[in-house]
Amino acid sequence: MTRFINVNLVVAAQLTTPAENPLLSEDNRLMDIWFGGSAVRKQMFKKVTRAEQEAMVEALKGRGFVQSGNLLIDPGAVLFAEMENQFLGGVVTIGFGENNKPVELKVGGKAFHELCASLGQGR
């Protein structure tokens, strides 16, 4: 199967590996990807190979994405961030869905601080 995902439109990605889901194999993965635009839309990609996941991570990190576990977020897409706990992290809003509800993602403490530092620099 050939697949193309335009990484320039991605605002966040959640990668699922065998460590998180034992039903997956070493070369059978999942990716949830949020795309920006007039509304933030989420798409799940099934049967992604390990190489596809790794290429996606490198491409997104190359664009300046911040990683929190298996979640990668574009600091430029963050509208609002709120710390819940300095150790546990917080919640970031990356836009609004078609239903006009905020699209919120939970990030760990280190990634939350990294996102805020990146936002404070006017990235």
Q: Does any domain span residue 1?
A: no
Which tokens go with 56? 């996606």
Q: What is the reported pTM?
A: 0.87
pLDDT of residue 19 exceeding 60, the answer is yes
Grade residue 9 by pLDDT with cuts at 50, 70 and 90.
very high
Q: Does any domain span residue 71?
A: yes
Burial of residue 59 (number of CB atoms within 10 Å: 0-12, 13-18, 19+): middle
| CATH code (residue 82) | 2.40.50
Q: Does any domain span residue 2?
A: no
**Distant-in-sequence, close-in-space partners of 120: CB < 8 Å, separation ≥ 6:** none
Q: What's the domain range around 116? A: 7-120
Q: Does any domain span residue 113?
A: yes
**According to the model, what pLDDT value does residue 86 have?**
72
Which amino acid belongs to residue 26? Answer: E
**According to the model, what pLDDT value does residue 89 have?**
84
Grade residue 120 by pLDDT with cuts at 50, 70 and 90.
low
How many domains does the chain fold into? 1
Report yes or no: 104 and 92 within 8 Å, Cβ to Cβ: yes
Q: Does any domain span residue 14?
A: yes
Distance CA 72, CA 58 (A): 11
Q: Does any domain span residue 46?
A: yes
Q: Does any domain span residue 86?
A: yes
Distance CA 113, CA 83 (A): 9
